[in-house]
Chain A
Amino acid sequence: DAGVIQSPRHEVTEMGQEVTLRCKPISGHDYLFWYRQTMMRGLELLIYFNNNVPIDDSGMPEDRFSAKMPNASFSTLKIQPSEPRDSAVYFCASRSTGPSNQPQHFGDGTRLSIL
């Protein structure tokens, strides 16, 4: 039973470049969440989708960040242009419909380094 799959696992790129992070949620899960983890701020929610529709993007830091979910099995988080302060580990998580205690299942993350 495949879990949440994220790609790439590591990304190193130069400042100003476009970065695209990818996520495949667990089949059948209706919710998809994007998080960013940094030493200073811990795990912070950037955006989440329900049935492919963005519900809350209040955590997206600025207009350079965008996220899409074109279908139930794929989502992207894009940063354009990237900056060194975007360096962090980005996690994708999914969960099924139900009360909010349904656990979220996380991918192994993308470690992003912007030089």
Chain B
Amino acid sequence: DQQVKQNSPSLSVQEGRISILNCDYTNSMFDYFLWYKKYPAEGPTFLISISSIKDKNEDGRFTVFLNKSAKHLSLHIVPSQPGDSAVYFCAASGAGTDKLIFGTGTRLQVFP
């Protein structure tokens, strides 16, 4: 069973506009949610996280929103830059385990 889902495999956005990446989860016991970015031939790198007791966390151009009632989170990138082009993974942790459960990723392409 897929506990963390990213239903959009790809997203294309113009430079300077907002990118919104979405993630849904099924386990209400998750404590934290994290976003990772991955470039080709590299490992995923941590981007931003949010605790389940918050509904928003912001870091520069990146903001993560959490809607617990809908079991949904989103990552907003404003303004989008060509260097943001990568695969973005949503991940969830907690529920009595040290594991990270990853979604299948969304490929973001930012074009000029």
What sequence of 0s and 1s flags, for each residue 37-77 of chain A, a beta carbon within 8 Å of any chain B beta carbon? 00000111100101000011000000000000000000000
List the B side residues contacting A107 at CB < 8 Å: 43
CA gap between A45 and B32 in the complex, in Å = 17
Query: Cβ of B70 < 8 Å from any Cβ of A?
Result: no
Enumerate B30-63 residues with CB–CB distance to A below 8 Å. 31-32, 34, 36, 41-46, 49, 51
* Count class of interface residues, chain B: 20 to 34
Q: Secondary structure at chain B's binding surface: helix, strand, loop or mixed?
A: strand
B7-47: CB near A (< 8 Å → 1, else 0) gives 00000000000000000000000011010100001111110
B26 CB → nearest A CB, Å: 16
Q: How far is the CA of A104 from the CA of B51 in the complex (A)?
A: 16
Q: How far is the CA of A56 from the CA of B95 in the complex (A)?
A: 14
Total cross-chain contacts (CB, 8 A):
57
Nearest Cβ on chain B to A67's Cβ, whole angstroms: 15
Contact A108 B41, CB 8 Å, known A31-B98, A42-B105, A101-B31: yes
Residues on B with C-beta less than 8 A from A56 are 97, 99
Choose one: A50, A99, A108; the contact of B32 (CB below 8 Å): A99
SS class of chain A's interface: helix, strand, loop or mixed? strand
- A109 & B43 in contact (Cβ 8 Å cutoff): yes
User: Of B31, B45, B89, which is within 8 A of A100 by CB?
Assistant: B31
Question: How many residues on A have C-beta within 8 angstroms of the other chain's C-beta atoms?
Answer: 23
A103 in contact (CB, < 8 A): yes
A8 → chain B closest CB, angstroms: 14
Other than the given A100-B97, A103-B49, 8 more pairs (CB < 8 A) read A43-B89, A48-B98, A50-B98, A100-B98, A101-B93, A106-B43, A109-B41, A109-B43
